[in-house]
Amino acid sequence: MKEIKVFCPATIANISCGFDVLGVALDSVGDEMVIRKTSENGIRITRLEGQNLPMETLQNVAGVAGLALLAASDYSGGFEIEIYKKIKAGSGIGSSAASSTGAVWAMNELLGNPFSKLELVQFAMEGERLASGVSHADNVAPALFGGFTLVRGYEPLDIVPIPSPSELFATVIHPQIEVKTSDSRKILKTKITLADGIKQWGNVGGLVAGLFTNDYDLIGRSLVDYIVEPIRSILIPGFDEVKIAAIEAGALGCGISGSGPSIFALSKGEEKAVKVGNAMREIYQNIGIDYDVHVSKINLDGVRSISS
């Protein structure tokens, strides 16, 4: 195989209580990429549509992630990359992670799968380091593994796949405002109270248990963030209203996707997820902020090949 076309899913990281550890992959929102083997060594971005992003290999997350893979492989050739962005950069649903993981997953396929998924996560994390200054795994892990993933820890990197109940759907609304990841990091406090910490890890345990047992109510009760959301949500106009509207429309829970500005909700069943999307939409219509809404089932496979 010389060429492969892949779907690279959008992802929700920082799922409420699971700040920095829990993420999930979406099924109907994502980029497409074509990766092609070349005889000359190195990586070239030959096409980039849909977003205004750098095409120089060292300035592009897919390029940097691909170079990390190349450096670890004994392959003497190189790759060309075409990127068709559908995820908006800076929307908070893993735009950079989609490109990084799509690149390394596709390259691994073209090379006959010499690398494990855990190794691919580590290559893709180099793309994240370029994008945000931090080589975090909370978006690339679900993008590669699919479903929910827990990044248990980094020393060494430990990714734990968590199952997803079959009727769980995600709704994401992206208000078209800019929230810089660096700003949303900066406003976090470096200290939290032990009491809030205990409530938070109680909820992480509850959320993981609810996902294993298909207990939608438990999932809903656990989707609470005592620590980050109260601070970061002030950067997102309309957040509180959107959250109230989502819950009133029947969502199990609602929170900030990644570092925002997108807001996600989880619901039982597609019909509910659509209704939740409509309720969220109404808030931004009233406020007068443009938005995109996505409703998606949970993507259980992660990056996948699609027909060219």
CB atoms within 10 A of CB 133: 11
Restricting to residues 236-275, which ones interact with its own copies according to CB under 8 A?
none
User: How far from 1 is each of 109, 133, 203, 269, CA to CA, in Å?
Assistant: 9, 34, 45, 39
Smallest distance from the beta carbon of 257 to its own copies, in angstroms?
A: 18
3-12 vs 304-306, strand pairing mode: antiparallel
Token pair, residue 29, equals 């929102």
Name the segment binding its own copies (CB under 8 A); options: 29-37, 42-50, 67-75, 153-161: 153-161
71 binds its own copies (CB under 8 A): no
Q: Which two tokens stand for residue 50?
A: 């849909």
Find the binding residues for its own copies in span 184-223 (CB under 8 A): 188-195, 197-210, 212, 218, 221-222
- 46 and 35 Cβ atoms separated by less than 8 Å: no
Give the nearest distance from C-beta 196 to its own copies in angstroms. 8
Nearer of residues 129 and 136 to its own copies, judged by Cβ: 136
The CA-based angle 19-21-103, given to 5 degrees, is 115
Identify whether 190 is a catalytic site residue: no
- 285: CB partners within 8 A, 6+ apart: none
Regarding 70 and contact with its own copies (CB under 8 A), the answer is no
CB 81 within 8 A of CB 37: no
- 181 catalytic? Reply is yes
Chain positions 103 to 132 lying near its own copies, rule: CB under 8 A, are: none
* Residue of 157, 227, 247, 289 that binds its own copies (CB under 8 A): 227
Q: Indicate the SS3 state at residue 130.
A: helix
Report the C-alpha gap between 162 and 159 in whole angstroms. Answer: 10
Instruction: Closer to its own copies by CB, 2 or 189: give it.
Output: 189
One-letter amino acid of 108:
N
What minimum distance in Å lies between the beta carbon of 117 and its own copies?
16
Tell me: does residue 147 bind its own copies (CB under 8 A): no
- Rounded least distance, CB 296 to its own copies, Å: 23
Task: Name the residue nearer to its own copies (CB basis): 73 or 135.
Answer: 135
Q: Which is nearer to its own copies, 160 or 177 (CB)?
A: 160
Q: Which of 32, 126, 128, 229 is catalytic?
A: 128
Cβ atoms of 217 and 205 within 8 Å: the answer is no
- The rounded distance, in Å, linking the Cα atoms of 110 and 105 is 9
Q: Which is nearer to its own copies, 28 or 201 (CB)?
A: 201
3, 167, 181, 241: which is the annotated catalytic residue? 181
Q: What is the dihedral of CA 125, 186, 206, 196, to 10 degrees?
A: 150
Residues annotated as catalytic are 128, 181
Q: Which residues are at the interface with its own copies (CB under 8 A)?
A: 17-22, 150-153, 158, 160, 162, 188-195, 197-210, 212, 218, 221-222, 227
